[in-house]
Structure 1
């Protein structure tokens, strides 16, 4: 009963922000004395603080409390083919620091892991957070990741198959660590705070030079038996890999140069490699170039084939397009919607990701928070 009372009080306090004993008692249905006992114990443990009364308050002010979101932090890491993205958040999920680092697509596993470690440590240290206050780390990566956090299969990252990603990440801060597929984590991020907040069944497709997909059913991540749910992009007949390579190939002619330069500025700083080539194509198509528009349409058609298979299977409320290519917006989503309407019995709403290429790291933050709330806070 004591544990139940603690959980109920802590949940209510986190929702309220700052609250009085009377208010918390009303929300939880517990007596004022019980709530006061619970809060005093949580204060001693460092999870709650008492808030001083406002200046000028007459008489005996009501005791007010708040959850200490800064009592610990979590780290979310996206280990990709050409970049590493790190986000550090407090226990309310508020991101307090971010770090980005480049890594070679041909980097061996030890080199990639070392780069991820440096970025994670730099992000925490740069935020002025003690490494001992990191309560959990979560890592997202391409490929199939089993429930233990080991990469059971990676096609795109050299030497990545078999890497105990969770085990390695746990040593960075000496804390529990988790690992998951990048598209799955991105789907979590969108459902938590992004474009899919109000949807129950969601298909998320990570589009870039390495496509992937994540599925939420009833608001919960569907991993599948081996963690491979959503990996439809590995089916050669779908053509996602070839379509991404074709789109990113640098084939723009001289007549498209003006539109390319203009569009690249509108999309942000030009990226290197295949995603950079794709950004130029999207920019030119958005500026009205017919040849670039045809290339985008071919890519959208190929993307729609795999997407429609997922849509016809899950019948989701929402299809979210994320990753680097999602920054193209309606230049990509427009033709994609048209092709999906032709392929699906009932095409869902199609929207762009709220977070773009930051979604994986944010989803990793959410996964780490879930662990802390369950295993540390007892929620």
Structure 2
């Protein structure tokens, strides 16, 4: 049981009241003082005092009355989410995506630029900078408006933001990606594995908001995975958790070749569209495409079964680019898991598709803002 507050604890009491008000305004939208007092359990005079202080610090603002309002409406207040902005990056083998959001994680602009796995390192880094600049320009912002750049990338990423190993982009191995990004952007930089960020976004705004133990399969032209244990994305001791695709016996690393090189694909089809063509042909009943899908799911089921047997998750969620064909893939995967697993988990399709990494990067940055500014042990600073 927590010790009762004493007279010398009044500053902490004010801090807790402020956090309660901020949290309520972030989740519930614009509220009157009376509504905010009711939701936080504070008296109306205490609520007014807290709101005045939050407005002085720049975290809360009064909302203008709705158009057509008759009479003098009660004042309403909201969290000032536009006091800063966040950039999320998805740095993949074939695309670089950028998204700009406010401090609540509401995405305001997105851009994308294609690259190739063999794109030289300097060109890949320059493409990252161009993609962010284009996203900011689209929203009418500059890098000075950005508090955090959070990047998700393929490969084994150390807690310091260095790429320990990356099979898909050989030039990525050993790169101090966080250091390079800090040289580009004059703000705080976070770097994390892309599959873990995708899993985080599915938990925050996607298909598994109600689940606490999850295996996330990041399926596309390459394979990745991540796990959520007890409601938290699990990084592991050396930040290498979920890298089951690195185990040859798991049959995951080259599994997409079954879909990428199917004989039904026309010769003029781009590599980016090849697997999608196979999956569409399978959906239409083409026997050659169906055979390719069966081989792909055979491989996918081996590594997935191993993760399920080890972790006993509530849900396995299929995410990434191939998740758009979950209607083709999930029934076949379910059949194989039912044969291999003691307790087959529920299977779900991502609701975010191939946007899961960039939204996960935004959610990672929002969580960092919360830890930095909105915890009981950290005094609320003046908003920038």
TM-score, normalised to structure 2, is: 0.89
The equivalent residue for 1:56 is: 70
User: If the length of structure 1 is used for normalisation, what is the TM-score?
Assistant: 0.90
CA contact (8 A) 1:147 1:227 kept: yes
Would you say the 8 A contact 2:318–2:326 is kept in 1? Answer: no
Q: Distance in 2 between matches of 1:321 and 1:85?
A: 20
Q: Number of paired residues?
A: 362
Distance in 1 of aligned mates of 2:126 and 2:53: 41
Aligned-pair RMSD on alpha carbons? 2.0
Kindly indicate whether the alpha-carbon contact (under 8 Å) linking 1:13 and 1:19 is maintained by their aligned counterparts in 2.
yes
| Cross-structure match for 1:21 | 33
Q: State the Cα distance separating 1:378 from its structure 2 match.
A: 4.4
Shift of 1:377: 4.3
Measured after TM superposition, the shift of residue 250 of structure 1 is 4.6
Q: Which residue of structure 2 lines up, in the alignment, with residue 225 of structure 1?
A: 237
Q: Distance in 2 between matches of 1:228 and 1:13?
A: 37
Q: Deviations over 1:276-330 (max 9, x none)?
A: 2221211111111111101100110110000011111111111111112222222
Match of 1:4 in 2: 16
Other-structure match for 2:223? 211
1:365 is aligned to 362
Q: For residue 328 of structure 1, what is the aligned residue in structure 2?
A: 325
Please tell me whether residue 287 in structure 1 is matched to residue 284 in structure 2. Answer: yes
C-alpha contact (below 8 Å) 1:72/1:91 kept by paired residues: yes
| Alpha-carbon contact 2:101-2:109 (below 8 Å) kept | yes
SS in 2 for 1:213: strand
Contact 1:138 1:166 in 2 (8 A): no
Could you tell me how far 1:128 is from its partner in structure 2? 0.7
Aligned to 1:147: 159
Partner residue in 1 for 2:7 = none
Task: Give the Cα–Cα distance (whole angstroms) in 2 for the partners of residues 3 and 12 of structure 1.
Answer: 14
> What CA distance in whole angstroms lies between the structure 1 residues aligned with 2:64 and 2:280?
54
- Once the two structures are superposed, what CA deviation does each residue of 1:228-263 show, in whole Å capped at 9, x if it has no partner? 11100000111112322233115227xxx6xx99xx
Q: Is the 8 A contact 2:90 2:361 kept in 1?
A: yes
Give the corresponding residue for 1:190: 202
2:80 maps to 1:68: yes
SS of 2:172 mapped into structure 1: coil
Contact 1:203 1:310 (8 Å CA) reproduced: yes
2:349 to 348, 352, 377: 352
Unaligned runs of 5+ in 2: 1-11, 377-384
How far did residue 89 of structure 1 move?
1.2
The answer as to 2:53 corresponding to 1:41 is yes
**Structure 1 counterpart SS, 2:303:** helix
Counterpart-to-counterpart distance in 1, 2:217 and 2:143: 34
Counterpart contact for 1:107–1:158, Cα < 8 Å: no
Q: Take 1:235 and 1:220, find their aligned partners in 2: how far apart are those partners?
A: 24
Matched, 1:297 2:311: no
- Structure 1: how far apart are the matches of 2:117 and 2:158? 23
Contact 2:162 2:174 in 1 (8 A): yes
- Give the corresponding residue for 1:85: 97
Distance 1:351 1:318 in 2: 7
Could you report, residue by residue, the CA deviation over 1:44-90 in whole angstroms, capped at 9, with x for unpaired residues?
232211124563235xx543211112111111100000111111111
Paired with 1:51 and 1:81, the residues of 2 have a C-alpha distance of 43
Structure 1 segments unaligned to the other structure (5+ residues): 262-269
Q: Which moved more, 1:67-76 or 1:164-173?
A: 164-173
